[in-house]
Amino acid sequence: MTETTYRIQGASGEWEVVIGLEVHAQVSSNAKLFSGAATAFGAEPNSQVSLIDAAMPGMLPVPNKECIRQAVRTGMAINAEINKYSRFDRKNYFYADLPQGYQISQLYHPIVGEGSLTIEADEKAGIPEDKVIGIERIHVEQDAGKLMHDQHPTMSYVDLNRVGVALMEIVSRPDMRSPAEAGAYVSKLRQILRYVGSCDGNMDQGSMRADVNVSVRRPGGELGTRTETKNVNSVRFVMQAIEHEASRQVDVLESGGKIVQETRLFDPNTGSTRSMRSKEDAHDYRYFPDPDLLPLILEDAFLEDCRASLPELPDAKKARYENELGLSAYNAQVLTADVDTARWFEVLLGETAKAAGKAPAEVSKQAANWLISELFGALNKLGTSLEESPVTPEKGGALLALIAKGTISGSAAKQVLEIMLETGDEAEAIVEREGLKQESDTGAIEAEVDTILAANADKVEQYKAGKVALFGFFVGQTMKAMKGKGNPQVVNEILKAKLG
Amino acid sequence: MSVDTATVAKIASLARIKVSESELEAMVPELNGILAWVEQLGEVDTANVEPMTAVIPNTLRLRDDVVDADPLTGGGRRDAVLANAPVAEHGFFGVPKVIE
Amino acid sequence: MTELTELGVAAIRDGVKAGDFTAVEVADAFNANVAAAQEALNAFIIATPEKATEAAKATDARRAAGEDLGKMGGVPIGMKDLFATFDVQTTAASHILEGFKPQYESTVSQNLWNAGAGMLGKLNLDQFAMGSSNETSYFGNVISPWRKAGSNAPLAPGGSSGGSSAALAARLCPAATGTDTGGSIRQPAAFTGTTGIKPTYGRCSRWGVVAFASSLDQAGPMARSTQDCAIMLEAMAGFDPKDATSLELPVPNWEALLSADLSGKTVGIPREYRMDGMDAEIVALWDQGVAWLKDAGAKVIDISLPHTKYALPTYYIIAPAEASSNLARYDGVRYGLRDLPDGANLQDMYAATRAAGFGAEVKRRILIGTYVLSAGFYDAYYTQAQKVRTLISQDFAKAFEECDVILAPTTPTAAFALGENVDDPLSMYLNDVFSVPASLAGLPAMSVPAGLSKDGLPLGLQIIGKAFDEQGVLNAGLAIEQRAQFTAKPEKWW
C-alpha cells in the first residue's frame, strides 16, 4: 500500500486530505442522448434544440446507441464491470436550465460498475509509486442548458443547446490523498477517454468537468464530513480547489467549527471555493425509474463489438514502446501521453521503416528522438502544435528514411526540416533542390581519401607511429574536399581501412 | 403515515406549487384520506416480488447517432422551439434574473 | 336516407367511397351539429370546422381522381385535446396550456389524417386527463347529452374522455380519439352508451400526447360500434420509433377479422369483481353478458384475480408519482402560462405559475405523487406499488392460461350527477375500480353498451383480453353488441 505524505500542517497537528472525484465527460456523439439535435460546440443559441430537448408536451426520449456504446467502451477501458441490465431514472428538480423538470440519469442501475485506473509514480509531485484509484461506477445522463446572467438588466437568458447532450458521470472512490494525485487521476482519465474516443477531453469547452469531494481527517482516522465543489474545469483548478478547500476545512475544524456537508463553487480568479446558496430541499430529487424508457439490456454481440473496437490503451502502448521498440521510459511516456502524439508517432515510424526498408524496431529510436527533440523543438519555436504541423508524419517518415539510408547527413536533415516547416515541401525535393545529398559512393570517396593521404604523407607517418588523434584531421580534410557531402560513416570506414 | 400542514407545505414547495394557508388546511385531510387508503398496500406480501419495469414485454430500442434525421426529433428549428415562449429575446428564452 | 350524423365510421367511409354523399356534405352536417350543441354540452374546447372541411375536400378530390381514400377517408372526427395538433391550440383542458399551439402533430393524430380523417375540433376532457367526470376541465364541464328519465339534472359524461363520449352520444361526431390511463376511454363510453377500446400498451404511439402517467397512458378509439372502433384503431395504431415503449408489431386487420362467433373461446368471470354491496342492476347486466357470450358459443368459467382489491390503491400511487414528474415541465419558461408576481425570482415564478395554472385535482395528484416519491417514502409507497403491480399482472397472466377474454362490468354504477362526487376525491376514484386493473397490466380492454339502467341511463360491459389480442376483445365485444342491440340514444334537449 502506497502512502503519500501530503499533509496539511495545522496548529493542532497534521491533517490528511481525502478526495473523491465525479468527472462529467461529454460523450463524443453527433446527436444528443435522447434526441436527434446536434451536439457541436459554439452554435447559435437554441439552434441545436429539438422539441424533445425543449420538453414540449408529449415529447418522448429514445436513447442514442452511440452514447451507450461509448459508455460501455469507456467502462471496458477501465476494466470495469459492464452491467448488461441498466435503467434510466429521473432526477427531479426545478431549474431554468432543465426543461423537463427532471434530468434523465442512472441512479439505481448504472451501465458500468466497479473499475479502476492507475496513476503513475511521480517523485516530484509526491507520488512515490504507481497507485490504483478505484472507480465506483459510470452512468450516462443528460447535460443541462446554460443561463446567461449578464445580457439583460432584469432577466437571465436561457440557451438549451446543451440540454440533453450525453454525459458520462465517472465516479471515483475516495482514494486520493493529495491534490497531485487528484490532478494525476484527472489527467489519466482524460488520456484514457481520448484514447477510447468516447470524450474529446476539451476541458476549456466544458467537455470534462469535475465535482470535487474533499474532506480532512487526522492521518488514518475517521472520515470527516465532505464538501462537494462543483464544475471545476481544469486539472490545475481541481488541484487548487482541493488545496483551498482542505485548508479551509482545517481552519474551520481547528477553530472549533464543524464542516457542513454542502455544495460549493470554485472561483478560478481567486483559486478559492465558496458556498452556493443552499436550498432547503435541494437534496430530495425523488429519483424513480423513467417510465418513458424500458430497461436497457445489452446483448453479448454488442458487448463483443464494443470490446473489439477498443484501441491499444496508454499503459499497454507505453509498455510496448519500451519492450518492443526499445524506447526509453521517458520517451515512451512522452509519446503516449496523448493519443494524437502516439498516432502521429506510429505513422511516422511506419513510414520511416517502409521507406528505409527496415523493421520498425530498427528505426524506432531514431524516429522517437527526431520527433521529441527535433520536431517538438521546432514546433515549439514556431508556437504551433503537432496537430497543425506543416510536416505530416508521412513527410517526416520520408525525411527520416533519407537519414537512415545515408542519403543525407544528420546536419543536413536539420536544414531540410526547417525548409519543410516553412514550405511544407517533400524532403526529397528539398534535398534535390538544395543539393544536400551526401556522397556515399565508395569509389568517389576512396579517390578523395587517396588524394588527401598522398598530400599529407608526413601526417600519415605520425599517425602510424601512434598519433591516433590525427584521424580526425584526415576526416576533416576529406569532408572539406568533398564540400561536406561525403557520408561520414563511409569516410570513416575507408580511412580506417587505408590507414591500417 | 399521515401528513400535517408543515409536511404538505414542504411537499408543495418541492412541487413548486404555491399554496395559501387555507388551501393547506383543506389539503391535509384530503391527502391523509388518500394516503390512509393507499397504505392498505402494505398488507400485501411482496417479499419475493420484483417491481414492475415493463408492463408489456418489450426491449428498449436504441436510435442511430444521426443529427436531424427527422425534424420531429432533431434540432435546427429555433422558431418552433421559441414559438410559444412567454418571453423570448435574441433567440433566448427569458426568465427572471437568477443569482447563483 | 338517414341523417348523415347518425352514420358511423364504416357507413361514412363506404358511403363516400360509393358516392352516396360527399365527404364535404358529411363534414358540413357534423360541423353544424358541433356548433349547435356547443353552448349546451361544452363538448369541445375549440371547434375547427375549417379543418374538417379541408380534409373532406381533399377526400372528395381524391375520389374524383380515382385515388385510394384511406381507412378513414371522409370521416370527420373529434380529437381529444390531449393530442398535440399542429398550430391548433392544445391545452389538456388546463389553464397552464391555454393558448399553446404546438409546432408538431402527435403521431396518432397524424396517422388519422394520413388515413383520410378530418378534425371537427379539440374535445374537452378532465384536466390533464385526471378525473372521471370531466369536472376538472379548466374550460368548464362537459354536460352529458343523457338525462335520467324524468329529470333535467345535468349528468357527467364520464372522464377523462368526457368530451369524446358526450360528442359521440350527441351525434356531434361519428368517432373520437380517447386516451385511457385508468379507464378514461371505457368509463365515459359506458356512461354514454358508446363503444371504446384501450389497446395493448404500446399499440398507439404516445408521441405528442400530453403525458399523464407514462406507464399507463394509452390512446384508443371511441365510436358507436365495435366495427367502427376496429377501423379507427387500425388507423391510429402502429410502430413509432419516436416512442421507446411503442410495440414493434404490424397492425392487424382487425376490421376484416371481426367475428362474433365465439365457438372454442373461453370467457373468464373474475370472482373478485363481484363486490359486496354491488348494484343489483350491474350484477344483472353482467349475468346477461354471460348469457350472451354463451349464446355466441363461448364457454364461461370462473376465474380468480386475487389482487384486484389492491389495483386502485396501486394506481393511485403510480399514476400520481409519474404525473408529478411528467407535469414538472409546465413551469412558465418555454410555453403556456407564466405568472410572474412583482419582484418574483425564478422559483417564485414556478410556484405562482403552477398554482395559477393547475386545477385542484391536478395539484392534489402532483402533491401525492411528490410525497410518495420523496426521500424516506419511496420504497414504502412507490416500490411496493410496483411490486403489487407485478402481482396484478401475474394474476391476469395466470387467468389467461385458462380463458381467452375476461368479462366484467365497466363501471360500478351508471352516470352520476355533476357535483355528486366532486368534494370527495376517494369516492370519485372508486369509479375506476373495474377499469384500473387492465390498465395496470397494460392489457387491451373495451367497453360495449349493453343496456339501460332503471333510470334510462346506459350501462356498459367490459371485455379484457390478453396482451396483443385486440381481436379477441373486439370479437367478444361484437358478440355482445349484436345481442344487446343497444339502439337507445339521448333525447335531444340541447
Cβ pair B65:A289 closer than 8 A: no
- What's the gap in Å between the CA of C214 and the closest CA on chain A? 6
The domain B5-43: what is its CATH number?
Answer: 1.10.20
Digits of tens for pLDDT over chain A (500 positions)? 445 579 999 999 999 999 999 999 999 999 999 999 999 999 999 999 999 999 999 999 999 999 999 999 999 999 999 999 999 999 999 999 999 999 999 999 999 999 999 999 998 999 999 999 999 999 999 999 999 999 999 999 999 999 999 999 999 999 999 999 999 999 999 999 999 999 999 998 999 999 999 999 999 899 999 999 999 999 999 999 999 999 999 999 999 999 999 999 999 999 999 988 654 445 799 999 999 999 999 999 999 999 999 999 999 999 999 999 999 999 999 999 999 999 999 999 999 999 889 999 999 999 999 999 999 999 999 898 898 888 999 999 999 989 888 888 888 888 899 999 999 899 999 998 888 887 777 888 888 888 888 888 898 888 888 888 888 888 888 888 887 778 888 888 888 888 87
The pLDDT of residue A239: 97
C323: which chain A residues are within 8 Å (Cβ-Cβ)? none
Cβ pair B90:A157 closer than 8 A: yes
Cβ pair C393:B16 closer than 8 A: no
The domain A442-499: what is its CATH number?
Answer: 1.10.10.410
Q: How do strand C299-303 and strand C266-270 relate by DSSP bridges? A: parallel
The domain C4-261: what is its CATH number?
Answer: 3.90.1300.10
Q: What are the residue numbers of the active site of C?
A: 80, 160, 184
Interfacial C residues in 37-96 facing B (CB < 8 Å): none
- What's the gap in Å between the CA of A199 and the closest CA on chain B? 15
C97: which chain A residues are within 8 Å (Cβ-Cβ)? 57
Is C207 touching A (CB cutoff 8 A)? yes
Cβ pair C84:A101 closer than 8 A: no
Cβ pair C104:B38 closer than 8 A: no
Cβ pair C393:B55 closer than 8 A: yes
> Which residue among B73, B83, B93 sits closest to C333, beta carbon to beta carbon?
B93
B60: which chain A residues are within 8 Å (Cβ-Cβ)? 63, 293-297
Domain boundaries, chain B: 5-43
pLDDT tens readout for residues C402-443: 999 999 999 999 999 998 877 788 888 888 999 999 999 999
Domain boundaries, chain A: 8-305, 312-434, 442-499
Domain boundaries, chain C: 4-261
Q: Which residue of A has its CA nearest to C319?
A: A291
ipTM at complex level:
0.97
| Three-class DSSP labels, chain A | CCCCCCCEEECCEEEEEEEEEEEEEECCCCECCCCCCECCCCCCCCCCCCCCCCCCCCCCCCCEHHHHHHHHHHHHHCCCCECCEECCEEEECCCCCCCCCEEEECCCCCCECCEEEEECCEHHHCECCCEEEEEEEEEEEECCCEEECCCCCCEEEEECCCCCCEEEEEEECCCECCHHHHHHHHHHHHHHHHHHCCCCCCHHHCCEEEEEEEEEECCCCCCCCCEEEEEECCHHHHHHHHHHHHHHHHHHHHCCCCCCCCEEEEECCCCEEEECCCCCCCCCCCCEECCCCCCEECCHHHHHHHHHCCCCCHHHHHHHHHHCCCCCHHHHHHHHCCHHHHHHHHHHHHHHHHHHCCCHHHHHHHHHHHHHHHHHHHHHHHCCCCCCCCCCHHHHHHHHHHHHCCCCCHHHHHHHHHHHHHHCCCHHHHHHHHCCCCECCHHHHHHHHHHHHHHCHHHHHHHHCCCHHHHHHHHHHHHHHCCCCECHHHHHHHHHHHHC
